[in-house]
Amino acid sequence: MEAMDQDECALTQLPAELIGKILEHLAPRDLNRVSATCRHLLAHATADHLWQRLAQAHVRGGARVASPRPCASFRALYRAHARHWFLADGALWFADGDLAGRLAVARFDPRRGCLEGYQLLATRARAPPGLGPNGLPSGWWQVAPDVFARPFRPDVRLHLDRPVLQLDALDGQQEVADRLRDPVLPVTRIALRPDAEADDDDGPGGAPGPPPPRARGARGARTPMAISNEHVAVNFIAARVLSPAEAAAHGDGRVWPPPTIPAPHRVARMPGLPHLGADTQARLLDDCDGPAREASDMAFRIGERLVGLPAEAELVTTYATLDRTLYTPTARKPWRGIWVGDYNGHGCEFLLMHQPDDEGEGEGEGEDEPEMQRLEDEPVEAWEARVRQRRLMCGRLEAIKLTGDPNVPRGEYSFVVDDLRAEAVLPWAADEPFTGATVVCSRGHIANDGFRDDRWVQTRLLLVSPDRMAHYWAPFRHVSFYERVDIDGFLTPS
């Protein structure tokens, strides 16, 4: 951009405080452009407090970005992660690896200035040894002559010993020197996404300039990660957005996130055929080494390969995030969220409890519902409670697996309630540990090993509270418990 004469620019005549306030409303890309106009605006547009605010905007969970380290300025820190801030924005990422999949939490660590991601794990808390007063193992209930329920208090934590993602804030030259240990992948430069908030052609006038170089292999642009070592090369890989027509052509099993989960766009997923040649894998995976505008900010890939092996031997896992509204409960959708369930021999599994918005839901919703008449001698408080309950108990509830097992894998439905108003009766549902639960009709999804011959069976869902529910698998006389997971509790490094 051609520099303007300072005398001809009215903006530069404003007080410094006012210029600063104006620049606070600009996106990073626009700040870069302003900094290239003249020396006067360069000083304002590169002010550290502006770029600290921009970096802070990508940090969830309450952590404060108080220092730009290891970079010299907040502007340098922001630029170092320009292509990857969306990882912290998404926070929750679920993978397509094998049938079990994986759930990971990504966050920015202000202490080290890096973006990091760790697998989220859940295990059952150990029950006290011995027998209870009822003669059953401690904590167990016999809710019917042949129906037993065991306690479920999950221990949810991050696997901090083994990160799945780590992107350090390094400048281009140091990154190449420190990361390029693998002779198979040459170094080249890739373009930013248009919304990555830095310009490829910037440079003069103090703008950040082109992004650091990244490695490019046979299947697209790669960013070597700090978790690589002398034996295994681990790379971050951008993923290209599929058009609706391309997603339909790929088929349900070849896109991520799967069709069961609402998403603004999808990417191609790994075909699971490591013996394919590099050209075939590139065509199927369709990595984003084309126009920058095609790179997804809701999906990415991680490639792992033993050092020295050819590029086609790389094991690629695709990750996708969830729109935060899908797992944020509301007054009328109280069961939305990320939950963990007890799947008996399969252990704990994570699920998205999805309550789709009803058609036409919004302003004036519920106006067409028949008015609930207050019963004779019914207290006002009781009548209002019935009205609230009626508004809550409507619509559909879908339990979608974010992690799975050999029978029903990740991305598939675990159970579905077609209508929350379809109440059911279980004689034992009024007793502990289900006291106060609302019982509704549901359908459970089962299958043989390898997700063969999948089918639906009659089940019952017991809504104990907004943070706890139980699922009765009637054909197996088995009760599974589910508890809500607070994802925000894992977003602040300790």
> What integer pLDDT is reported at residue 267 of this predicted model?
94
Asked if residue 209 has pLDDT above 70, the reply is: no
Whole-number percent of the chain with pLDDT over 70? 75
Are residues 428 and 311 both part of a single domain? Answer: no
What pLDDT does 137 receive? 65
Does 293 fall in a domain? Answer: yes
| Same-domain status, 349 and 241 | no
Q: Residue 186: what pLDDT?
A: 37
Does residue 78 fall inside a structural domain?
Answer: no
CA 469/CA 459 separation, integer angstroms: 13
Per the domain annotation, does 483 fall within a domain? yes
Please give the residue that has the higher pLDDT: either 223 or 119.
119
Q: Are 280 and 337 contained in the same domain?
A: no
266 and 346 housed in the same domain: no
Q: Tell which wins on pLDDT, 109 or 138.
A: 109
* Residue 37 covered by a domain: no
Last residue of a domain, one of 322, 351, 384: 322
User: For residue 160, what pLDDT band results from cuts at 50, 70 and 90?
Assistant: very high
Does one domain contain both 355 and 298? no
pLDDT band of 7, cuts 50, 70, 90 = low
Report the chain's mean pLDDT, rounded to a whole number. 81
**Mean local confidence (pLDDT), 384-391:** 69
Reported pTM: 0.82
- What's the pLDDT at 125? 80
Between 240 and 132, name the one with better pLDDT. 240
Dihedral sign of CA atoms 270, 271, 272, 274 in order: negative
Comparing 422 with 282, which gets the higher pLDDT? Answer: 422
Note whether residue 96 is domain-resident.
no
Residue 84 lies in a domain: no
Whether 129 maps to a domain, the answer reads: no
Sorting pLDDT into bands at 50, 70 and 90, what band is 288?
Answer: low
Query: What's the pLDDT at 132?
Result: 60
Q: Is the pLDDT of residue 148 over 70?
A: yes
Q: Quickly state the pLDDT bin for 143 (edges 50, 70, 90).
A: confident
Question: What single string gives the DSSP state of each residue in 272-332?
Answer: S-TTS-HHHHHHHH-BS-S-GGGEEEEEEEEEEEETTS-GGG-EEEEEEE--GGGG---SS
pLDDT band at 68 (very low <50, low <70, confident <90, very high): very high
Average pLDDT over residues 220-240: 85
Q: Which helix (H) or strand (E) holds 337?
A: strand 337-342
Question: What residues make up the domain containing 176?
Answer: 171-322
Residues 203 and 304 in one domain: yes
For 77-98, write each residue's pLDDT tens digit.
999 999 999 999 999 999 998 8
Query: Which pLDDT score is estimated for 12?
Result: 79
Which residues, including other chains, have CB under 8 Å from residue 219's CB and lie 6 or more apart? 237, 278, 281, 282, 285, 287, 303, 311, 314, 316
The span from the CA of 461 to the CA of 470, in Å, is: 6
Are 230 and 272 contained in the same domain? yes
314 and 459 housed in the same domain: no
Q: Are residues 318 and 231 in the same domain?
A: yes
Range scoring the smallest mean pLDDT among 60-69, 123-132, 190-199: 190-199
pLDDT at 457: 97
Mean pLDDT for 397-409 is: 97
Residue 269 lies in a domain: yes
Q: What percent of the chain has pLDDT over 90?
A: 47
Q: What is the pLDDT of residues 247-280, one digit of tens each?
A: 888 887 889 999 999 999 999 986 554 444 555 5
161-197 pLDDT per residue, tens: 999 999 998 744 344 444 444 433 333 333 333 343 4
DSSP code, position 71: S
Residues 205 and 290 in one domain: yes
Each residue's pLDDT tens digit, 360-378 = 554 444 444 556 666 677 6
The domain tally of the chain equals 2
Same domain, 243 and 337: no
Q: Tell me: do 314 and 233 sit in the same domain.
A: yes
- What is the H or E stretch that residue 408 is in? none
